Amino acid sequence: MKPLITTAVFDAKPYDRDYLAQGADAGQVAWRFLDFRLDVSTAGAAKGMQAACIFANDVADRAALEALVSHGVKLIALRCAGFNNVDLAAARELGLAVVRVPAYSPHAVAEHTVGLLLTLNRKIHRAYNRVRELNFSLAGLVGFDLCGKTVGIIGTGKIGRITAQIFRGFEARVIAHDAAPDQSWAERHGVGYVKLPDLLAESDILSLHVPLMPDTRHLLNGQSLALTKPGVFIVNTSRGRLIDTVALIAALKSGHVGGVALDVYEEEQGVFFEDLSGQVLQDDELSLLLNFPNVLITAHQAFLTREALSEIARVTIDNLLRHARGEPYLTETVL
């Protein structure tokens, strides 16, 4: 069958290729997999393609979008939920449709969030390495019970709600803050909404689940970190720029922050998703964070489950084929 649409897939990793090329109806898309990210200098690689499929760290700013349009691209299909890397105003002006995968597996991200916290708190990563070297000592591996602690969830959308529910399963007290609170959900799950300063002051563990927007950039900065409980553990699986890294490092150095688990990092573009082993890391702040014993970092892998990749492929292909057939996009996918 002749493909209905041609699509350049930027920053395509082996798992992207596998799941996109094997998804149902994948044969109706002519794929051009590109192993580099989109920015203004690489946009030309989509020449002659009708759609550009991009991910969280591609740079779809005005210049890149103009370049894509000049090469014939009509559709930007994000294969992720967050869209802070796309200049939507520019896209609108250029007549480019922008679609995304609004929810592929909120469970994948929520479960990774809790996994990070458990690993950091119980020092499982350090224990694993010790035992492999036949060091069976427990010195320095003391953690704390989650039961009875206060967990503060910032952002109770799809991911934040599931994260809160998992923490309730540990018998933790869960408090939350959201611009649009969902009271009936909170009552059902024994979660209490509070104002942000109260959440910061009361939480033993903070977990960030708001999107990156102008008003959430550096949500955790020197001032807000100063409001947090001494020894607080912070988990961020949402977007790196929610945290002011310099302020975080200062709070770690002073001992005010007890532990930090990050799946996202302010300057992750060009670093996360890449194999830089054997190279000199150019980011001094990231180098510093990697050296702290109470910081645990994964490279934006919270979404990476079989279920999430299948759903990303299914919705992305559906978005592409709707465009090709001139059918309306599903409301929740279109931006």
Residues that bind ligand NAI (CB under 6 A): 81-82, 103, 106, 109, 155-160, 177-180, 209-213, 215-216, 237-239, 263-264, 300, 302-303
Helix extents (H) in the chain: 14-22, 62-70, 88-94, 106-122, 124-132, 158-169, 183-189, 196-202, 222-226, 245-253, 284-291, 306-325
**Is 168 one of the annotated active-site residues of the chain?**
no
**Is 268 one of the annotated active-site residues of the chain?**
yes
Q: How far apart are CA 23 and CA 6, in angstroms?
A: 16
**Is 125 one of the annotated active-site residues of the chain?**
no
Q: State in angstroms the smallest separation of the CB of 49 from ligand NAI.
A: 25
Those residues with Cβ within 8 angstroms of residue 135's Cβ, 6 or more apart along the chain or in another chain? none
Q: Which of 100, 112, 173, 239 is catalytic?
A: 239
Name the nearest CA neighbour of 117 among 304, 301, 294, 305.
294
How distant, in Å, are the alpha carbons of 219, 317, 334 from that of 158? 19, 22, 17
Q: State in angstroms the smallest separation of the CB of 145 from ligand NAI.
A: 26
Q: Which of 173, 268, 311, 314 is catalytic?
A: 268
Q: State in angstroms the smallest separation of the CB of 265 from ligand NAI.
A: 11
Backbone angles phi, psi at 174, to 5 degrees: -115, 125
Give the CA angle between residues 88, 102, 55 to the nearest 5°: 65
- Catalytic (active-site) positions: 239, 268, 300
